[in-house]
Amino acid sequence: MTTKIILACVQCQSRNYSTHKNQSNQSERLEVRKFCKTCKTHILHRETK
């Protein structure tokens, strides 16, 4: 059972990436360091609601 999630930048709040997450294995929010096009740096991206 996978669901589509959207990752947003912590600093500028722009929604840059989308991915899939397995709800039965991971219950907490996903956090990944990715490149933000707006900030032009690698920064933490969190799963949005």
Q: What pLDDT score does 26 carry?
A: 85
Structure tokens at 17: 């990436």
If phi over 0 gives left and psi between -120 and 50 gives alpha, with beta otherwise, what is residue 38?
Answer: alpha
Strand 2-9 to 15-22 pairing: antiparallel
**Which domains are seen in the chain, by residue range?**
2-47 (2.20.28.120)
pTM: 0.83
User: Tens digit of pLDDT for each residue in 10-30?
Assistant: 999 999 999 999 988 888 999
The position carrying tokens 């707006």 is 38
**One-letter amino acid identity for 30?**
L
The rounded mean pLDDT for the chain is 93
pLDDT at residue number 49: 82
What does the pLDDT read at residue 23? 87
pLDDT for residue 48 is more than 90 = yes
| C-alpha–C-alpha distance, residues 4 and 2, integer Å | 7
